[in-house]
Amino acid sequence: METILDKIIAKKREDIRNMTELTINDLDLSREKRSFIEKLRHTSEMAIISEFKRASPSKGIINANLNPAEQGALYESYGASAISVLTDVYFKGTFEDLKTVREAVNLPILCKDFMVERKQISHAKAAGADLILLIAAVHGKDALKELHEYAAELGLEVLVEIHDDEELEKAVSIGAELIGINNRNLKTFEVNLGTTEKLGPLVRQSGAFLISESGMKTREDVVRAAKAGANGILVGETFMSADNLKQTFRDFKVPLTVPQR
Ligand SMILES: O=C(O)c1ccccc1NCC(=O)[C@H](O)[C@H](O)COP(=O)(O)O
């Protein structure tokens, strides 16, 4: 049966059919580097990647009225470590959003998209991304490695996203330094923080930094992720729909449980 992830990937392949790959000469490789991994090395509290997410396949419209520059500036002032910007059409996001947010803040910016070809990575770089997402479920090991290496050549950090043991094995085998465990099953939309609890210790044993993604609603959820070894969390819907964003950030500030390597 075709899953939502299959549909998203098929649409993505169609959307990028006429996109050209930018060459090194088209890209500004001297741009100020904002390293998320470097921040993770030097923090004693759970890092927060705050997401700009207007809509999603699982929830429909979350908040279509927020201005990306203003929301990004609020995320920064309340203590985010990085900002994730969805640039995919299923989430009503664009590369313009990413550019706008990067210009409004001094934080590392994650381009949250469904990367299937190198040319998308070059465009993410041109738009101002500091990190990109690669979803292990979408690629065989060789393709994942190739895209991971290409991103590194462009000076980008990579969050390799996994959801099960097989994807974990793929991420570790390509030497991923930053691994995200998505608590949301992208095929069924089921969200289960137990996914981080199951795979988290294995990710940390590999030596990679760990981000627990999706489904963070309360401080207790963040504490659970920390206890499972996470170095940080990635939060979209809860921040985009918060009545009191400042207080929600305060609630989500949690010390690390498992020390840095
Ligand atoms: O969020 C979805 O519905 C979704 C559906 C299909 C593929 C990806 C999807 N989300 C991407 C994400 O990983 C989340 O936006 C991110 O982890 C934040 O999740 P949340 O805090 O639960 O909004």
Q: What are phi and psi of 131, to 5 degrees?
A: -135, 155
- Which residue of the set 182, 183, 212, 231 is catalytic? 182
For ligand 1, mutation pick of 8, 48, 56 (most atoms within 8 Å of CB)? 56
User: What's CA 259's distance to the chain center, in Å?
Assistant: 22
In the block, tokens 């819907």 appear at: 237
Q: What share of the chain is helix, strand, coil (3-state, %, to 5)?
A: 45, 20, 40
Which pTM does this prediction carry?
0.97
Respond yes or no: is residue 125 known to be catalytic.
Answer: no
One of 12, 76, 99, 161 is an active-site residue; which one? 161
Q: Which is catalytic among the residues 12, 53, 99, 170?
A: 53
| Residue 112 falls in the annotated catalytic set | yes
Is CATH 3.30.420.40 the right assignment for the domain spanning 43-252? no
Taking the C-alpha atoms of residue 150 and residue 130, their distance in angstroms, rounded to an integer, is 14
ipTM over 0.95: yes
Q: Is the CB of 167 under 6 A from ligand 1?
A: no
Is 161 noted as a catalytic residue in this protein? yes
Decide whether any atom of ligand 1 lies within 6 Å of the 216 Cβ.
yes
Beta bridge partners of 14: none
Q: Is ligand 1 within 6 A of the CB of residue 215?
A: yes
Domain assignments of the chain as residue spans, ordered by start: 43-252
Task: Give me the pLDDT at residue 135, please.
Answer: 98
Annotated catalytic residue 12: no
Does 182 sit in the ligand 1 pocket, CB within 6 Å?
Answer: yes
Is 56 close to ligand 1, i.e. is its CB under 6 Å away?
yes
Confirm whether 213 is a catalytic residue: yes
- Measure the CA–CA gap between 37 and 82, rounded to whole angstroms: 10
197 in active site = no
Residues 6+ apart with CB under 8 A from 107: 34, 72, 75, 76, 80, 81, 82, 83
- Reading the chain (261 residues) residue by residue, the pLDDT tens digits are 899 999 999 999 999 999 999 988 889 888 889 999 999 999 999 999 999 999 999 999 999 999 999 999 999 999 999 999 999 999 999 999 999 999 999 999 999 999 999 999 999 999 999 999 999 999 999 999 999 999 999 999 999 999 999 999 999 999 999 999 999 999 899 999 999 999 999 999 999 999 999 999 999 999 999 999 999 999 999 999 999 999 999 999 999 998 766
pLDDT of residue 261: 61
Check pocket membership of 197 for ligand 1, CB cut-off 6 A.
Answer: no
Decide: 57 in ligand 1 pocket, CB within 6 A: yes
